[in-house]
Amino acid sequence: MMLRNLFKPTDNKWQPIINQLEAAIGKDGVVRRKEELLTYECDGLASYRQRPALVVLPRTTEQVAAAVKICHDNDIPWVARGAGTGLSGGALPVEDCVLIVTARMKQILDIDLENHRITVQPGIINNWVTQAVSGAGFYYAPDPSSQIICSIGGNVAENSGGVHCLKYGVTTNHVIGLKLVIPDGSVIDVGGTIPEMPGYDLTGLFVGSEGTLGIATEVTLRILKTPESICVVLADFPSIEDAGAAVAGIISAGIIPAGMEIMDNLSINAVEDVVATGCYPRDAEAILLVELDGLEVEVAEGKKRIAEICRQNNSRNLTSANDAETRLKLWKGRKAAFAAAGHISVNYFVQDGVIPRTKLVSVLKEINRLSEESGYRIANVFHAGDGNLHPLILYDNSVPGEFEEVEKLGGEILKLCVEAGGSLSGEHGIGSDKNCYMPYMFNETDLETMGYVRNAFNHKGLANPGKMFPTPRTCGEVANAGMIKPIKDAELF
Amino acid sequence: MMLRNLFKPTDNKWQPIINQLEAAIGKDGVVRRKEELLTYECDGLASYRQRPALVVLPRTTEQVAAAVKICHDNDIPWVARGAGTGLSGGALPVEDCVLIVTARMKQILDIDLENHRITVQPGIINNWVTQAVSGAGFYYAPDPSSQIICSIGGNVAENSGGVHCLKYGVTTNHVIGLKLVIPDGSVIDVGGTIPEMPGYDLTGLFVGSEGTLGIATEVTLRILKTPESICVVLADFPSIEDAGAAVAGIISAGIIPAGMEIMDNLSINAVEDVVATGCYPRDAEAILLVELDGLEVEVAEGKKRIAEICRQNNSRNLTSANDAETRLKLWKGRKAAFAAAGHISVNYFVQDGVIPRTKLVSVLKEINRLSEESGYRIANVFHAGDGNLHPLILYDNSVPGEFEEVEKLGGEILKLCVEAGGSLSGEHGIGSDKNCYMPYMFNETDLETMGYVRNAFNHKGLANPGKMFPTPRTCGEVANAGMIKPIKDAELF
């Protein structure tokens, strides 16, 4: 009976592989039962599913290296997976692959407060880092909305952002060094214990490479001193334009808030329906959340100036909070915005595009136009300070054709972003979701150059194949529909 | 008569090359006379010289691409050169090479104040960037000591730092996008007009790659708002240890100054001898210069706290300045420190190593020990905030053997830095000066991986060959002397 549940399709090939993997990682570290493999069929981009051939759960660098080497020697594609919360299908398995999951790599390896750094295994959850050092007056800055469930390894792969990245930058600005298993199974160290290292910046190259260059097994992160004072300001506006003008005003006044977020009326009402913060006025066309941090005098002065700028831009009400409890309450709705969209609509499709901050208002108008034309409601929540938009397209997957229409609408929004001088992705990554759109931004020579770099690490193409870069096989249809420039050459990646 | 001065050694090979280069760049853009080539025999690391076969002076991306393509097609090595102020021999010609000099590429291509960015050609001098935008209330942060003569292209190649990089980071943190000519003569765009871009971070990879991956022909830089208030604090201390403890105290108080520099007694007296600032007490064992910037209230509060911390650490006198004129006076000695070393000694050898900030005092003690043992005076000037040391070893090149001894001493200092958990170079680069020391920091697999990346761009090895990475040919002697781990394999790069 038990045998029926084992992964069998090509047993002749797999049995020796399974033996080798079990010898390296232990029997309990190799998942092969169909029903257990189900969990791993997709990541946060749940619209695509693919069962892996096997899942391995290593605990150490050596075990990861062994698994990768076995794949390399046997020409088996492999995909790395952290907590599986990614939104671009970066951890989506490919056919007949080994999925290397870091869920058991949850050790904090070193805390060096004097030098403001911490070294962790990749399976550590994002906000555990802050928890580990907050008692000593430190924190880890990048804070994706999923920070209570997403892992550092996934953050490194996707170069994750968050609401506090306006002042402090995204993941790449906080990774000092990495221990990596590259696709031939070798272990290399890139970066180090100090920020500036000679040689090529392979740390920076690896962060955001979405599992195509290898797998990080140790991550050294920069931690920051907890600011003396933190203040959140909530302002409501009669129009998105006014909120956008306030953002421009704050930036040009030379104030750099820790974060600066806008939510539109639809999002405001969605979160009030679901989490009932009681702080977000339901009749406001937009709210702006600004977080300031620093010395007490600096925060107080910043708050005064921001209040002035908001008022000049027609803000009706201003609330602010310095104590942790009220600050969390003000942030609660923003942090719950995606989940709330899931409550007011059967399904939602979240887009992640970037535009120059100065184009906020004009691009949002265009998104509204697309919403009206298509008949799909779009809720807007975004990192206004860095122009990172997160339009949430509301739809119903059970209605035939809606998903396809919404996917197309998402593509049109991306096109708007790129045409405004922006980018396909701010923080969710390209993965298998947006690889066909890469030619929006990069010409053939640009993509070829990235391909050379990929091949330098991953010359057999076994590490996360088909992700991040367009392939004629997967992107042919999009190209034929005229949505992107067709790829002429043979499969580049 | 004129013909005698033309570059002739291998005329048969060169004449068609010269014809092609002249057709692409114009006759006045190709330098071939021996006496004109003299200027280009070395960069700021004047201890090594090599005459290039030819020098070309392109004005546009197309001309650079044409020159690179001609080299590529004819298997001619080439070296890029900015203003030639580099201190690690990155722009040192190699035998029979074409030197591509960006001195005529001095156009500002675009200023976009709204989005805080500027696009320039690589020949633009560092402080021209600030001059171009200061009227509008902006500045460019990285400020190497050579900022009035060094060029942005060279800054990009070497990932230059400066005294203001503690708070704002080095060049790589300020380059948003690049137009590049890669070694096969193709032109690619990396990065873009916004900071976060999908795909591999090739911008970050290129910055600091020391001319081995291609040549930047357009550079888009982030510019910052001029701070509302700036204040420089000068404190003197009875010992280096006290100054080091003050630095540690400031950092652990959560204050991040724009810059934080220490000079020792020998440096203080050297600069007072030469530029007579009148501000640096000659009897102090060390001075600490701290620059604070930000909102007025923030700077005032920071200054108060820094004064307290300095006093707690036995500082005798504190001076501070808010107005630009006095601030410049306080900085003047620090900025002139290298030049001053050249006045108190016939020659000096500047080293550039990094250590974790917490090891400042112990490493400086070791440097002192080396100085006493060797009999060479060493003046210490350093970016204390980020642990970037610049020991200046004073010697006399006309005394046979001194240069060799001093070079060896420099190597021992580097070894100290690496053993303390630091790095071979903070901001001057590896070039041809330190490539033999790379195995101090990187094992064979690490270096091999960098080699793969290099080959991805530079598969013929024509772009700046022999730089940055050790080769058995050039590094054999050092290895045989037991100074570094010998390189076993055939020439890697």
CB < 8 Å to A190, chain B: 446, 449
Residue B177 is assigned to a structural domain of this protein: yes
Residue B32 is assigned to a structural domain of this protein: yes
Residue of B nearest to A166 (CA): B195
Residue A485 is assigned to a structural domain of this protein: no
Task: Between B155 and B356, name the one with better pLDDT.
Answer: B155
Nearest Cα neighbor of B77 from B466, B469, B472, B491 is B466
Alpha-helical regions (H) of B185-228: 202-206
The pLDDT tens digits for B67-126 are 999 999 999 999 999 999 999 999 999 999 999 999 999 999 999 998 999 999 999 999
ipTM summary value: 0.90
Handedness of CA B406, B411, B414, B415 (dihedral sign): negative
Could you give the 3-state DSSP secondary structure of residue A134?
A: helix
Cβ count near B42 (within 10 Å):
19
pLDDT at B119: 98
pLDDT at A5: 46
Residue pair A224/A116 in contact (Cβ under 8 Å)? The answer is yes
Could you give the 3-state DSSP secondary structure of residue B420?
A: coil
Single out the residue in B57, B73, B101 at which a domain terminates: B101
Task: Decide if pLDDT at B452 tops 70.
Answer: yes
Q: Which of B200, B225, B387 is facing A205, going by the closest CB pair?
A: B200
Q: Which of A198, A248, A423 is facing B423, going by the closest CB pair?
A: A198
Q: CATH number of the domain that B95 lies in?
A: 3.30.43.10
Chain B touched by A333 (CB under 8 Å): no
What's the rounded mean pLDDT across residues B439-445?
A: 91
* Locus of tokens 């300020």: B174
**DSSP string for B343-381:** HHSSEEEE--EE--GGGHHHHHHHHHHHHHHHT--EEEE
The amino acid at residue B429 is G
The pairing of beta strand B98-101 with beta strand A353-354? unpaired
**A335 shares a domain with A319:** yes
**A291 shares a domain with A396:** no
Chain B touched by A193 (CB under 8 Å): yes
pLDDT at A2: 40
* Locus of tokens 């956008």: A244
- Name the minimum distance, in Å, from the CA of A298 to any CA of chain B: 5
**B411 shares a domain with B306:** yes
pLDDT at A9: 55
Residue pair A190/B445 in contact (Cβ under 8 Å)? The answer is no
Q: Which of B172, B196, B296 is facing A426, going by the closest CB pair?
A: B196
Cβ count near B490 (within 10 Å):
7
- With residue A360 as reference, give the H or E element that holds it: helix A360-374
Chain B touched by A418 (CB under 8 Å): no
Q: CATH number of the domain that A144 lies in?
A: 3.30.465.10
pLDDT range class, residue A49, cuts 50, 70, 90: very high
Chain B touched by A249 (CB under 8 Å): no
Chain B touched by A427 (CB under 8 Å): yes
Which residues lie across from B138 on neighbouring strands? Answer: B225
The pLDDT tens digits for A192-245 are 877 778 899 999 999 999 999 999 999 999 999 999 999 999 999 999 999 999
Q: Do B199 and A468 touch (CB under 8 A)?
A: yes
Residue pair B244/B314 in contact (Cβ under 8 Å)? The answer is no
**B263 shares a domain with B344:** yes
CB < 8 Å to A137, chain B: 254
Single out the residue in A323, A341, A359 at which a domain terminates: A341
Q: Which two tokens stand for residue A109?
A: 């390896």
* Locus of tokens 């994002």: A126
Q: Do A254 and B208 touch (CB under 8 A)?
A: no
Report d(CA B323, CA A349) in Å as an integer: 54
Residue A490 is assigned to a structural domain of this protein: no
The pairing of beta strand A117-120 with beta strand A108-112? antiparallel
**B217 shares a domain with B233:** no
What's the rounded mean pLDDT across residues A404-413?
A: 94
Q: CATH number of the domain that A383 lies in?
A: 3.30.70.2740
Nearest Cα neighbor of B440 from B486, B488, B489, B485 is B485
Q: Based on the structure, what is the number of domains in chain A?
A: 5
Report d(CA A256, CA A168) in Å as an integer: 10
Task: Decide if pLDDT at B485 tops 60.
Answer: no
Which residues lie across from B191 on neighbouring strands? Answer: B177
Please provide residue A481's backbone torsions phi and psi, each rounded to the nearest 5 degrees.
Answer: -75, 0
Report d(CA A196, CA B386) in Å as an integer: 9
Report d(CA B280, CA B165) in Å as an integer: 23
Q: Which domain holds residue B256?
A: 229-419
Cα angle A480, A484, A488 (rounded to 5 degrees) comes to 70
Which residues lie across from B187 on neighbouring strands? Answer: B181
Chain A touched by B245 (CB under 8 Å): no
* Locus of tokens 């054709």: A401
> Which residues, numbered 142 to 171 in chain B, qualify as contacts with chain A under a Cβ-Cβ cut-off of 8 Å?
159, 161, 170
Q: Name the DSSP class of B9.
A: T
Beta-strand (E) ranges in A57-206?
78-81, 98-101, 108-112, 117-120, 138-139, 175-181, 187-191
The pLDDT tens digits for B164-220 are 889 999 999 999 999 999 999 999 999 987 777 889 999 999 999 999 999 999 999
Mean pLDDT lowest among A6-10, A75-79, A251-255: A6-10
Report d(CA A353, CA A416) in Å as an integer: 9
- Name the minimum distance, in Å, from the CA of B274 to any CA of chain A: 32
CB < 8 Å to B429, chain A: 198
CB < 8 Å to A454, chain B: 200
| CA dihedral of A321, A326, A331, A337, whole degrees rounded to 10 | -140
What's the rounded mean pLDDT across residues A419-435?
A: 91
Report d(CA B174, CA B415) in Å as an integer: 30
Q: CATH number of the domain that A323 lies in?
A: 3.30.70.2190
- Name the minimum distance, in Å, from the CA of B275 to any CA of chain A: 31
**A273 shares a domain with A246:** yes
**B113 shares a domain with B150:** yes
**B50 shares a domain with B141:** no
Single out the residue in A412, A428, A444 at which a domain terminates: A428
Q: Do A196 and B423 touch (CB under 8 A)?
A: yes
pLDDT range class, residue A486, cuts 50, 70, 90: very low
Beta-carbon contacts of A386 under 8 Å, excluding residues fewer than 6 positions away, are: A161, A165, A166, A354, A357, A426, B194, B195, B196
Residue B57 is assigned to a structural domain of this protein: yes
Region of B401 on the Ramachandran plot (φ > 0 left; ψ -120 to 50 alpha; else beta): left
Report d(CA A191, CA A475) in Å as an integer: 35
Residue A492 is assigned to a structural domain of this protein: no
The amino acid at residue B145 is S
Nearest Cα neighbor of A261 from A426, A406, A416 is A426
Residue pair A289/A232 in contact (Cβ under 8 Å)? The answer is yes
**A273 shares a domain with A201:** no
**B112 shares a domain with B90:** no
Residue B426 is assigned to a structural domain of this protein: no
Q: Which of B194, B207, B424 is facing A422, going by the closest CB pair?
A: B194
Chain A touched by B267 (CB under 8 Å): no
Could you give the 3-state DSSP secondary structure of residue A336?
A: coil
Q: Do B199 and A430 touch (CB under 8 A)?
A: yes
Residue B493 is assigned to a structural domain of this protein: no
Task: Between B486 and A300, name the one with better pLDDT.
Answer: A300
> Which residues, numbered 371 to 390 in chain B, qualify as contacts with chain A under a Cβ-Cβ cut-off of 8 Å?
386-388
**B325 shares a domain with B250:** yes
Task: Decide if pLDDT at B261 tops 80.
Answer: yes
Q: Which two tokens stand for residue B37?
A: 């080539």
Residue of B nearest to A117 (CA): B356
CB pairs under 8 A between A and B: 212
Nearest Cα neighbor of B493 from B454, B441, B445 is B454
**A255 shares a domain with A151:** no
- With residue B31 as reference, give the H or E element that holds it: strand B30-31
